[in-house]
Amino acid sequence: MTASTGTDRIRDAVYDSLTAEFATARDDRPAVVPVTPFFDREREVVVVTAAPAFAGKAEQAAANPRVSLLLHEGEGRLHLTGRATVRDDDLEANTAVVERLIRDEPPSPKRKAMVEAADFLGTRLGLLLLDWYGLRILIEIRPTAVDSRPSDGTTTVPTWSAAGVDGGEAETYDRMVVTVTDEAGYPRSWPVSAATIRDGRLRLTPPDDVTPADGQPACVLVHWHDADLAKLEQRLIRGRCRKDARGLVFDPASSFHLRNRTPRDRLRFIVDGKRRTRAYFDDRGRTYRPVPRLRTLLEW
């Protein structure tokens, strides 16, 4: 694969991905979150973003720049590893960069969802409720390698009491991803189509290029979202890989749940976001300035 072909493949996969699973690692402990990826054609890097209220993934990427991204590619997935650079000096300028990246997206449901979200952020109601959300930290990922991840495009998540997932929650999820770190310290993820859980443990079938060790830390992300990202839900489950008589399993230890489906969820999201954003700026001795009206997008 030539460098040009590799870049084109990554760019096309980014354009095809309304969301992707972004993984960071602290020592050998991975963490994964859903993100919307963009491709910066000027710099030939993949860009994901974070609001200051939820800066954890950016802080982790700054501490350890070895990251990965699981993108959509046709009927399968494309796994990208890379080195991250975090840009958080001028969040208002970053907002303009995001506007340009959205504008560079080809016509698609993804671009439509991003434009509609930006349009709402520019309304009076959007500025009142989500002035903090338009501020963006940029995480630029310069690819180092790509691997294919076969997937049939569907996921069934069963009830998983040991991980805190009851039947009602399990029915909502349509994505499951497992992540471990490799010997070089890079997170390595793969999708799970048909989850098998016995005695509270998830049966693992990693791809050939991923070889978890017995006792190695791992995590599982289950999530879903609607077409315009207005409603979503996710759960990150941490634990360890274990070997038993039948192979490899994931043994859960703790989980974190985030949901934005109901009016109460959205109110909590807004209030918590404003509080977290002010704390972000206070901790850094910086002045909190809400994002200005997104003129560029609104003038298309």
- Which amino acid makes up residue 246? R
Q: Please write down the long-range contacts of 191-199, taking CB distance under 8 Å and 24 or more positions apart.
A: 191/70, 191/77, 191/149, 191/151, 191/155, 192/155, 192/220, 193/151, 193/152, 193/154, 193/155, 193/156, 194/155, 194/156, 195/155, 195/156, 195/157, 195/158, 195/160, 197/158, 197/160
Q: What is the pLDDT of residue 25?
A: 97
Can you give the pTM of this predicted structure? 0.91
Residue 292 pLDDT class (50, 70, 90 cuts)? low
List CB contacts of 261: < 8 A, sequence separation 6 or more.
231, 232, 233
Alpha helices (H) in the chain, listed in sequence order: 3-15, 56-63, 91-104, 109-121, 124-130, 167-172, 263-283, 295-298
- Token couple for 25: 């690692």
Q: Which of 265, 205, 256 minimizes the C-alpha distance to 234?
A: 256
CB 134 within 8 Å of CB 95: yes
**Interval 139-196: pLDDT, tens:** 999 999 999 998 876 788 999 999 999 999 999 999 999 999 999 999 999 999 889 9
Q: What would the two tokens of residue 51 be?
A: 């609001």
- What CA–CA distance (Å, rounded) separates 281 from 168? 38
| C-beta of residue 190 within 8 angstroms of C-beta of residue 210 | yes
Reported residue count of the chain is: 300
Q: How far apart are CA 255 and CA 264, in angstroms?
A: 22
Per-residue model confidence (pLDDT) at position 153 = 67
Nearest-angstrom CA–CA distance, 274 and 177:
30
Model confidence over 239-257: pLDDT tens digits? Answer: 999 999 889 999 999 999 9
DSSP state of 280: H
Strand 66-73 relative to strand 20-26, pairing? antiparallel
Q: What is the pLDDT of residue 151?
A: 81
Token code pair at residue 152: 């049939």
CA distance 154 to 191: 10
59 phi/psi in degrees, rounded to 5: -65, -40
- Kindly list the strands in the beta sheet with 247-260, ordered across the sheet, starting from the edge strand earlier in the chain: 187-191, 175-181, 217-225, 232-244, 247-260, 201-204, 197-198
Cβ atoms of 211 and 233 closer than 8 Å: no
Q: Regarding predicted confidence, which is higher, 298 or 245?
A: 245
Q: Is the pLDDT of residue 293 over 60?
A: no
**How far is the C-alpha of 57 from the C-alpha of 31, rounded, in Å?**
9
Contact 28/77 with Cβ under 8 angstroms?
Answer: no
pLDDT of 1: 40
- Indicate whether 290 pLDDT > 70: no
What integer pLDDT is reported at residue 117 of this predicted model?
82
For residue 52, the 8-state DSSP code is G
